[in-house]
Amino acid sequence: MNQNAAIWLLLVLAFAAANLPFFNERVFGLFALKGPKPFVVRLIELIVLYGVIGAVGFTFERMIGNVFAQRWEFYATTLTLFLVMAFPGFVLRYLLRR
């Protein structure tokens, strides 16, 4: 896989993973809860999916070439970007009237 394809695939996967907790009532899309899913569970899902997407990105980086060491600024920036990608799902779930 070339670098350009890996970047676009990672962005699409990140967008889908960021919105997954808001578009279904199952935990990680697998386990059903009794009643509606609380916001805290959605937030935990979001953090775990951020870690999964980070691992996929690390794997892509390792496949393409050298892995670069990252400091806390990188993770703060990517977490913020992941939360921005989750904004459409949050708006549809909590801010729009049905």
**What does pLDDT average to in each consecutive run of 10 residues of the chain (98 residues)?**
89 95 86 85 94 94 87 94 94 84
Q: Note the pLDDT of residue 67.
A: 86
The residues that bridge with 78 in the sheet, in sequence order, are none
Q: Note the pLDDT of residue 2.
A: 84
- The domain locations on the chain are 3-95
- CA separation (Å) from 90 to 6, 20, 51, 55, 64? 27, 10, 19, 24, 34
Q: Note the pLDDT of residue 1.
A: 75
Check if the beta carbon of residue 50 is closer than 8 Å to that of residue 82: yes
- CA separation (Å) from 67 to 6, 15, 57? 14, 23, 10
